[in-house]
Amino acid sequence: MPRNSIKKDNLKNNNSNVLKHRIKLLKATVFACVAIILVRLFFIQIIEHGSWVAKADEQHTILETITPKRGEIYMMDKGEPVTVVLNQTTYEVVIDPTVTKKEDIEKVANDYVKDYLVNDIDEVYNQTGLRYSIIAKNIPRNIAEQIADSGIPAIWLKKINQRVYPENELGSSLLGFMNSDGIGQYGVEGSLNDVLTGKEGLIKTTADVNKVALSIGNDNVKIPAEDGKNIVLSIDRGLERGVEEISSEIIESSAATNAAVLIMNPRNGQVLAMSSLPNYNPARYSQIEDASIYLNQTTDVPYEPASICKNFAFSAAINEGVMTSDTTYFNQGYEIVDDWKIDNAEQRSSLYGTLTMKDALYWSLNTGSIYALKLLGGNPNSINQQGREKLYDYYHNKFRLGQITGIELFEAEGMIPDPNEGWGRDSTYANMTFGQNVGLTMVQTASAFSAVVNGGTWYTPTVVKGYYQDGKITNPDDIREKNPLIEDKILSDETSAMMRDMLINNRSYKGDRPGFSIGGKSGTAQVIRNGAYDDSFSELVGSYIGFIAPSGEMPEYIIMTKMWGEGQSIGSGEAMNLFDALSGFLIDYYKIKPGAA
Amino acid sequence: MISQTTTYVTRREAIGNGFARNRNTVRYTKRNLGSISQIVIVGMLTLIFGLIYVAEGTKATSFDYELSAVESEITEMNAKKEDLAVEKARLNSVATARTSTVAAAMEDATVTGYATE
């Protein structure tokens, strides 16, 4: 074989080996690449499956809660519901000072939201590192649309669900307000927050790049939101307005700074007016510095209604058959119980001697109500355990004083002392007959008084008339499950009639409007300082409670008033003036026809 | 494209297989589609089904867009309704009535009837 030929064959073999080697290398490379890809795919599809699915879902799935519409609140006016709390969508102008140009936001401020600014623009831009600032709030939709159409960049319009109170301050302590988190606080907004809020819905659906929900996909979910219930209150808007205006006028003309009024229908427990002054605008609740203004003084705050409680002690004794309005006792101007002297407030000499219980109520004599307690115990000379237990039974179990009444509002429980546990029971119970040593709310007191004058039936006080839907008032079933309306006959008709006569007699000197039976009872409470009653009378709380009826008929309205002021000696006279003014207004407002008798 | 294959059967084979004189004989012919034809047909079918799927999907999406537009309109109308309800409530409020010049110009009622008459 020629040498060249051998060389050629060697070269050919070498080339072939190189090629084979390269092919092997290529195969190995391809295999390695495929292996890497497979491993990576294994990791993505098996190991990291969940997180990649979540990322994909995030990109093409819309998952949102559907906010329910908060229920509206209505009051009654001439027999028709009128809206007093409703909703409105408003907007906030939000900027990022590092992105939004100052001249742009100044243009927006000057052209559109001058009246809605909440922050000074210069101050916002002077702060370093600020990335989020609300420039304007409560902007109506039409102005928000103008801003959006103006084409000014880097301005965010944030949608806000705002609660609107078109009657401003009217009934604020009754209505409460909705806070910035959308949660009801105080009043009906707070106590019936669950009913007003409704239930959130959910939407989960596939979306395209424009975030438009698509109907394709197997995992789409749509649970509609359940809107909150519209609540109709039994409150009469015109009467409420009149009550607040008259209360303001009486406050102006006296040393009092506060007044609370409760007007009820004693025949069914429906509250027609409920006010606490001073009041506030619920839409601007955050501007209130003294949080006590939020309180509903008729339900949230127990106090001593003082001599108003004589009605309950007298009713108990009459109902037990141990006393009538003509029962007599000897009044010496004071009583000594547990070595403690209890004086009458009224000490005129003409009252010393034998008096009837009707006289005792007329002059509001503490000795008279203590005598009723003695009679309950079966011993006219001293207070005993039987008397205490019977009084407790009437106060706590029958009149439901010192316990939750069941009204659909937040309420304080109050307190009635135990008849046997504790020190100085006799003196404590002697004080209870004229409204000291107890803690009662106005709504407890007014409900009990309703039973005294309406024929003897205790009704659960209520402010909710029903739900309002499609122009109809319906029964508020779920509220009634929690707050059932109780009707309990606790006094005889005769007891009630006798009490009405005595209460009308109490006002015999007043010269009330002819054709009407108006009865009432005052109460002046001392204030407790350092654990003891302030006998200097430097601060007093005045109360008055009464009923109105056409002559010869059963009462249709109960009015309870309370007036006070820090450091002010407000007697029951001011509270009675308020009652007198309100009773006249109420007769005119409802055009109540005088009775024939 | 169709290809065909003819198989010749000898008389002996035919008799063995049950063929005989004065009997009808049948010539069996295998007729198969060619591989290219099969690919084309499968491709065509896939394309048709694909087009149908895309057409239906597009139609559904366009409905979704219409639905989205209608829902936006409903939201808009509800917002306007809310605004009008608020305006109505404000105009009907006692506070507004008190500051009304029309109400201020009215005279107080002097003759009243009773509610129970």
The contact set of A with B (CB < 8 A) is 82-84, 86-89, 140-142, 164, 166-168, 170, 208, 212-216, 237-238, 241, 588, 590-593
Mean pLDDT over all residues of chain A? 91
pLDDT digits (tens, 9 = 90+) for A532-580: 676 767 788 999 999 999 998 999 999 999 999 888 888 778 899 999 9
Please report the pLDDT score of residue B35 as a whole number.
87
Looking at the predicted structure, is the pLDDT value of residue A367 above 50?
yes
Residue ranges of domains in chain B: 2-102
Binned at pLDDT 50, 70 and 90, residue A584 comes out as: very high
Looking at the predicted structure, is the pLDDT value of residue B1 above 50?
no
Q: Please list the residues that pair with A317 across neighbouring strands.
A: none
Integer Cα distance of A544 and A538 in angstroms: 20
Binned at pLDDT 50, 70 and 90, residue A1 comes out as: low
Cβ <8 Å between B85 and A590:
no
A132 in Cβ contact with A94 (< 8 Å): yes
pLDDT digits (tens, 9 = 90+) for B20-71: 666 666 677 777 888 889 999 999 999 999 999 888 878 877 888 888 889 8
Å from B115 to nearest chain A CA?
Answer: 5
Integer Cα distance of A566 and A292 in angstroms: 13
A231-236 and A73-77 beta bridge pairing = parallel
Tokens of A35: 């292996």
pTM above 0.90, yes or no: no
Q: What percent of chain A has pLDDT over 70?
A: 98
Nearest Cβ partner for A86 among B57, B85, B112: B85
**Alpha-carbon A163 to chain mean position:** 15
Tally of residues, chain B: 117
Closest by Cα among A163, A171, A441, A410 to A279: A171
Which residue of chain B is at minimal alpha-carbon distance from A89? Answer: B79
Å from B78 to nearest chain A CA?
Answer: 10
CATH architecture group of domain A57-85+168-283+503-597: 2-Layer Sandwich (3.30)
A136 in Cβ contact with A113 (< 8 Å): yes
Cβ <8 Å between B95 and A237:
no
What mean pLDDT do residues A508-516 have?
Answer: 85
Tokens of B115: 């509610």
A465 in Cβ contact with A76 (< 8 Å): yes
pLDDT digits (tens, 9 = 90+) for A413-442: 999 999 998 888 999 999 999 999 999 999
Candidates A69, A139, A164, partner chain B, best to mutate (most B CBs within 10 A)? A164
Q: How many CB pairs under 8 A join A and B?
A: 71
Tokens of A122: 């210069």
A56 in Cβ contact with A44 (< 8 Å): no
pLDDT greater at residue A64 or residue A91: A91
Rg (Cα) of chain A, in Å, rounded?
Answer: 38
